[in-house]
Each structure stands twice: as structure tokens, then as C-alpha cells.
Amino acid sequence: MPRYLSLVQIDESTAPAEGPSAELMQRMGELIEEMTKAGVLLDTAGLTPSAQGTRVHWSGGRSTVTDGPFTESKEVVGGYAIVQCKDKAEAIEWTKRFLQVHEAHWTVTCEVREIAEG
């Protein structure tokens, strides 16, 4: 069965400074448990805020290193999930369920892409 990466992008300007609520974390935990029992979820994690990140860029034969926060970015990668599903449609359905556990004040986008094998 194919594997898919769901790349979670968040708008840090709408995310609560204190992080996700206890209720959100509970709902997310329940969904993660359901996905694990269904044999779909292979790996998932959230990431620290972009202010704690570093970008390494390659251009013109040189690399540059820039520490966060990255003022030119509105949406940043906030986490990921790797799922194994029968097809892309199933991966999208699980991703939609993940998005729906968030409260209305969150702005979250997931990019779902099949992982190239071999």
C-alpha cells in the first residue's frame, strides 16, 4: 500500500501563543489512537515554533544559514503525519478528520503527497 506525507502548515499569527488547548490535544490523541488501531498511522509529530528553527538555503553554489523567526513566511510547517492508505482519497479523508479536531480560530492547511518508493 502506498504511503503519504501529510505536511501540516499553520498560520502562526492565528495560533494561540500558549499552544494547543487541552481539549484539542485530547481530540488529537483520540484520533491518533484510532488511526494507529486502524493500521494507517505510521508516524506523526508536531514541530517547535519557527522562531526556534533554522533555514539552510542553497543557491548559486553557496549555502546560507538563517535563524528564525522567518518574517517573510505567513504559513510555516507545524508538523507532519505519515500514513499508509489504500489510495490518495483515503489519505485525504484521514487528513480532513485531523483538520476538523482544531478549533475555528486555527488556520491549518495540510499538503498530502504520496511518498515516492524505490
Is the pLDDT score of 41 beyond 70? Answer: yes
Position 68 scores a pLDDT of 82
pTM here is 0.86
**pLDDT digit string, tens, across residues 8-37:** 999 888 888 888 999 999 999 999 999 999
Whether 6 and 93 have beta carbons less than 8 Å apart is answered as no
| Of 84, 117, 89, 95, residue with least CA distance to 1 | 84
Gap between the Cα atoms of 28 and 34, Å rounded: 10
d(CA 18, CA 81): 23
Q: pLDDT at position 12, please?
A: 81
Q: What percent of the chain has pLDDT over 70?
A: 97
Give the angle 105-97-74 at the CA atoms, nearest 5°: 40
pLDDT tens digits, 91-100 = 999 999 999 9
